Structure 1
Amino acid sequence: MLKVGVIGCGAIAQRRHLPEYLNRNDVEIVAVCDFNLERAKEVAKQFGAKHAFQTHQELLACEDIEAVSVCAPNFLHASITIESIQAGKHVLCEKPMATNLDEAKSMVDAATEKGVKLMIGHSQRFMPVHIKAKEILDEGKLGRVLSFQTTFGHSGPENWSVDGKSSWFFNQDEAFAGVLGDLGVHKADLIRWLLNDEVSEITAMYGTLHKNTNVDDHAVLAIKTQKGAIGTLTASWTYYPNENNSTIIYCEKGTLKIGTDEQFGLIVEHQNKHRECYELDKIQSNETGGQTNSGIIDHFVEGILNGTGHSVTGDDGYKALEIVLAGINSANQKQTISL
């Protein structure tokens, strides 16, 4: 039985972490905390947590807690994660793992020194369509990846966050980045993982097209990888009314389409016009009916209980963050950034 605590009781905790912990027979939710103590108490009651605290320090003082989910605003990820590690807890930290690379490295170093596990919440890797797509790409039958386009967009945090339009997502001091840090970082990790490749160059444009905020609500990155593929990454909070969570990968011998068809989550189109259609579980979505098990809590828990560790490490979180920061720098400096 793994005893866990959840730090931050916002939407991601209420819709993903806590329900998925609760669904497991080998997990006990010991405590939750939130700066809004009333919210913490309500969430504790809803998910059967023994304790509700206002500060993470109180939660970390619970000696029986072995692992924590860090679901606080972005600017607190690094400090809370490091405090949790120093308290001897395994950590699942939401993305982006930090607001800069120095913070991210400190998190990785702290986990190594303390001998605990640090996992970053890049949930796209655990979607069945992406797992199957990676299997196909790794087989090599489609040949070398030539280009790609990956997109993650929806109508914005005001329709997702528990705080609506007043959410910290819209405050640069707390979020550090807008949609690039929220959605773009997911696709940055996904492309690295799917292609088994690293990003070498980024040219980006971003802006605030429609939201009343001081962070970006739409961003486009042109990306070149070390193996020579060239593609685009688009992240947006301005996709009204429908969400787009799709990836298309163009290879020498065919095209792989993910999330482009309502019925078939994955379609492979070969040069000879043959099509393979896979009717897999629905891709994770913020829309009504789109909240299926993300797989990320299962992986976190099992990696601890089985001692096998995790496939999304602090190093992976670092590299995804590096891509986001390079995109921001490219847009601000109006030049290509090399990694």
Structure 2
Amino acid sequence: MTVQKIAVVGCGGISRVHLSAYTAHPERVEVVAACDPLPERTAWARETYGIERTYSSVAEMVDAGGWDVAVVCTPSSVRKDALAELARAGKHILVEKPLSDNVDDAREIVETCEKAGVILAVNQNFRDQYSFGIARKLIEDGRIGEVLGIDQQDLTFRQDKGWRLGMARHAMSVMGVHWFDGFRVLLGREATWVSCRTFSSPAIESAGETDGFVQIHFGDIPVSYVQSFSSSRKHVETIVFGDRGTLSLNYDSATVLTPDGASETIPNPYAGDQRRESMFRSLDRLLTAIESGGEPSNSGRDNLRTVALLDAAYRSAEQRTPIELVEGLPW
């Protein structure tokens, strides 16, 4: 197994989870460099994870060389320029989600990477960290028959800090990007119609929305999704209705329920203390694609449809009208 040399772009909060995951796999990953414009953050990377080579910019880190794959953990508002610079330098990339704040920029990023001949993957870690991967296999095995619809609730009271507070798109950009991607994984098809309403609770400090109510059609399969950062009740659950049974999903497990009262619960090995492993799995899909010459399942091209669904929900809320998509895309 090849050990790949990795550089991390952005040493903020989410980089901690990535770095903790990668240090558990020295047989596969060696983090040799990191950059951040704030010296206290690069100092933290050196002191906490022993990353000796740190820089104040992507350009400096590219010029220094000695690595082939970048993991981009910057705020979404500054990712586009960083990704373009890395692509021009011929570096393969794993980027945090959302890939971009809007679908047009996301498409430009994907095309820039493809023209440069580099592979772009997106860290949609909930494909593992949540029970979506387990549920997809259960659906494929026919455990609940034909899927009729999905109901998703993500209710919590959440006050974020830092750069996210100033973003015009908030709760669904933070968490909805996971659920939209998960619906695509579960159904194996793309959205055709989206309707959304949002509001911002005065109980939460944020420039963007705190709550969203979304209806989606994946062809003839309806999905109902509620996202709340202002809920007094904490509850996260995905219900998948089939014509021969029902699935109940959360972080910890997937449960199959049948009309005769039987049930079976399958634990999620990537939940709880093992959630960091989902970050490594996202990176390893990219590394495997680099080595095999294939395309990772979490590629930027695939992720365009997740970003398009997120973007369509916001546009529906802004325009107060449903948005139609063709095979998951607005064009």
TM-score (norm 2): 0.89
Question: Tell me, what secondary structure is at the counterpart of 2:296?
Answer: coil
Aligned-residue offset at 1:233: 2.0
Aligned-residue offset at 1:282: 5.9
2:319 aligns with: 333
2:226 aligns with: 234
For the residues of structure 2 that align with 1:292 and 1:79, how far apart are their CA atoms? Answer: 27
1:93·1:120 contact (CA, 8 Å) conserved in 2? yes
Structure 1 position 322 matched with structure 2 position 308? yes
Amino acid at match of 2:307: L
Aligned-residue offset at 1:75: 0.9
2:329 aligns with: none
1:277 aligns with: 265
The verdict on how the C-alpha distance between 1:9 and 1:156 changes in structure 2, with shifts beyond 3 A counting, is farther
1:36·1:54 contact (CA, 8 Å) conserved in 2? yes
Aligned-residue offset at 1:234: 2.4
TM-score (norm 1): 0.87
1:29·1:50 contact (CA, 8 Å) conserved in 2? no
1:20·1:297 contact (CA, 8 Å) conserved in 2? no
For the residues of structure 1 that align with 2:34 and 2:276, how far apart are their CA atoms? Answer: 22
| Count of aligned residue pairs for this structure pair | 319
1:299 aligns with: 285
For the residues of structure 1 that align with 2:22 and 2:154, how far apart are their CA atoms? Answer: 26
1:77·1:94 contact (CA, 8 Å) conserved in 2? no
For the residues of structure 2 that align with 1:8 and 1:241, how far apart are their CA atoms? Answer: 34
1:143·1:251 contact (CA, 8 Å) conserved in 2? yes
Q: 2:215 aligns with which of 206, 222, 237?
A: 222
For the residues of structure 1 that align with 2:52 and 2:155, how far apart are their CA atoms? Answer: 37
For the residues of structure 2 that align with 1:332 and 1:277, how far apart are their CA atoms? Answer: 40
For the residues of structure 2 that align with 1:225 and 1:57, how far apart are their CA atoms? Answer: 42
Question: Tell me, what secondary structure is at the counterpart of 1:222?
Answer: strand
1:20·1:298 contact (CA, 8 Å) conserved in 2? no
Give 5+ residue unaligned stretches, structure 2: 326-331
Amino acid at match of 1:43: A
Aligned-residue offset at 1:93: 0.8
Structure 1 position 92 matched with structure 2 position 94? yes
The verdict on how the C-alpha distance between 1:44 and 1:300 changes in structure 2, with shifts beyond 3 A counting, is farther
Pairing of 1:255-270 with structure 2 (within 5 A): 255-259=246-250, 265-270=253-258
Q: Residue by residue, what CA displacement relative to the aligned partner does 1:221-258 show, whole Å, maximum 9, x if unpaired?
A: 111112x111212223224574x443110011110111
1:128·1:281 contact (CA, 8 Å) conserved in 2? no
The verdict on how the C-alpha distance between 1:217 and 1:135 changes in structure 2, with shifts beyond 3 A counting, is same
For the residues of structure 1 that align with 2:145 and 2:164, how far apart are their CA atoms? Answer: 40
1:250 aligns with: 241
Aligned-residue offset at 1:130: 2.1
Q: 1:203 aligns with which of 159, 173, 195?
A: 195
For the residues of structure 2 that align with 1:23 and 1:338, how far apart are their CA atoms? Answer: 44
The verdict on how the C-alpha distance between 1:290 and 1:13 changes in structure 2, with shifts beyond 3 A counting, is same
Q: 2:85 aligns with which of 83, 86, 89?
A: 83
Q: Residue by residue, what CA displacement relative to the aligned partner does 1:292-312 show, whole Å, maximum 9, x if unpaired?
A: 422323333343345444111
Aligned-residue offset at 1:149: 1.4
Aligned-residue offset at 1:35: 2.1
1:32 aligns with: 34
Aligned-residue offset at 1:283: 3.2
The verdict on how the C-alpha distance between 1:150 and 1:315 changes in structure 2, with shifts beyond 3 A counting, is farther
Question: Tell me, what secondary structure is at the counterpart of 2:277?
Answer: coil
For the residues of structure 1 that align with 2:206 and 2:250, how far apart are their CA atoms? Answer: 29
For the residues of structure 2 that align with 1:31 and 1:282, how far apart are their CA atoms? Answer: 27
1:259·1:283 contact (CA, 8 Å) conserved in 2? no
1:161 aligns with: none
Aligned-residue offset at 1:22: 1.6
2:143·2:256 contact (CA, 8 Å) conserved in 1? no
The verdict on how the C-alpha distance between 1:303 and 1:266 changes in structure 2, with shifts beyond 3 A counting, is same
Aligned-residue offset at 1:334: 1.4
For the residues of structure 2 that align with 1:90 and 1:114, how far apart are their CA atoms? Answer: 10
Question: Tell me, what secondary structure is at the counterpart of 2:99?
Answer: coil
For the residues of structure 2 that align with 1:29 and 1:100, how far apart are their CA atoms? Answer: 30
Amino acid at match of 1:332: E
For the residues of structure 1 that align with 2:92 and 2:236, how far apart are their CA atoms? Answer: 30
Give 5+ residue unaligned stretches, structure 1: 159-164
Percent of pairs identical after alignment?
Answer: 24
For the residues of structure 1 that align with 2:79 and 2:25, how far apart are their CA atoms? Answer: 25
The verdict on how the C-alpha distance between 1:316 and 1:270 changes in structure 2, with shifts beyond 3 A counting, is same
For the residues of structure 1 that align with 2:72 and 2:233, how far apart are their CA atoms? Answer: 30
Q: Residue by residue, what CA displacement relative to the aligned partner does 1:48-91 show, whole Å, maximum 9, x if unpaired?
A: 21212222221222322101111111111222112111111110
Question: Tell me, what secondary structure is at the counterpart of 2:204?
Answer: coil
Q: 1:185 aligns with which of 177, 190, 193?
A: 177
Aligned-residue offset at 1:9: 1.0
